[in-house]
Structure 1
Amino acid sequence: MARIINLQKFSDERGSLTVVEKILPFEIKRFYYIYDVTSKRGGHRHKKTIQALMSLGGSCEVYVNNGQKEEIFLLDSPTKCLILEPEDWHTMDKFSEGSTLLVFSSEFYDKDDYIDEEY
């Protein structure tokens, strides 16, 4: 099931820094970011891809259904990292104005890895 990993934040008079290193349960093969969102995103799960989602600015809600449990996660801080397992059917919605969602992926894009049907 999906879970939140809290990332460490380093702050001083210059600002803040958050590092994603040796904490993800996979090797990063691809990353992308979602912004200027006007409607719900996602609506799928995967056969083998694991993903890590972080809101770099603003916020959004991520609905997750793994076939046994449904949960909504609020990503509203760059120190929250949501890990999605392949079986986690998910949608991203309720993006705040100016939000940016960063996604790290364990696999390169493969259209055959996507399962669109919810449980």
Structure 2
Amino acid sequence: METIQAIQILKIPVVEDVRGNLGIIQSDFLPFEFKRVYYLFDVPSTAFRGGHAHINQQEVLIALSGSFEVTVNDGIEENRYLLNKPNVGLLIPTGIWRELENFSSGAVCLVLASDDFSEEDYIRDFDEFLISKK
């Protein structure tokens, strides 16, 4: 059973250049092979995203532009992360509840996921999540 201690901040390698920086994510960078990439954008500042946990899927969240906050909960402990740099990723292992909020104007959240979409992998009710942790 994963805890929030398993969450990691990943420093994405960057090639710096006066013409602009280049962030690099290769298959050997992540602790899993990503099968799906998606992104959130035009999220109203008052909106909440996430509100779920995954049974099997792992994810890395990156603020490509702007900023947002991620609250994670393992059923016992809770922690909050501010993502606001495109060279930093937040690795969320399986079995961790996550909520995203306080999106800045123009924020873009890139997600690298270990699996294809499967509704059966989601726990979308927090009380059900807490029961699954026992």
Determine if the TM-score, normalized by the shorter chain, exceeds 0.5.
yes
Partner of residue 98, structure 2: 90
| SS in structure 2 at match of 1:23 | coil
Q: Does 1:117 align with 2:121?
A: no
Quick one: distance in 1 between partners of 2:53 and 2:98? Answer: 6
Quick one: distance in 1 between partners of 2:91 and 2:17? Answer: 28
CA RMSD of aligned residues (A): 0.9
Partner of residue 18, structure 2: 13
Shift of 1:117: 2.5
Shift of 1:35: 0.4
Name structure 1 gaps, 5 residues minimum: none
1:36 to 25, 31, 42: 42
Q: Which amino acid aligns with 1:97?
A: S
Quick one: distance in 2 between partners of 1:8 and 1:84? Answer: 19
Partner of residue 9, structure 2: 4
| Equivalent residue runs for 1:65-80 within 5 Å | 65-80=73-88
Decide which structure has the larger Cα Rg and report it: 2
Q: Which amino acid aligns with 1:103?
A: V
Quick one: distance in 2 between partners of 1:66 and 1:28? Answer: 23
Q: Does 1:26 align with 2:40?
A: no
Percent identity, aligned pairs only, is 37
> What is the aligned residue count?
119
Cα-to-partner distance string for 1:3-39 (whole Å, 9 max, x where unaligned): 2111122211111011012111111111100000021
Cα-to-partner distance string for 1:42-79 (whole Å, 9 max, x where unaligned): 00001100001001000100000012321001110001
Name structure 2 gaps, 5 residues minimum: none
Q: Which amino acid aligns with 2:63?
A: S
Richer in helix (by share):
2
Richer in strand (by share):
1
Structure 2-normalised TM-score? 0.85
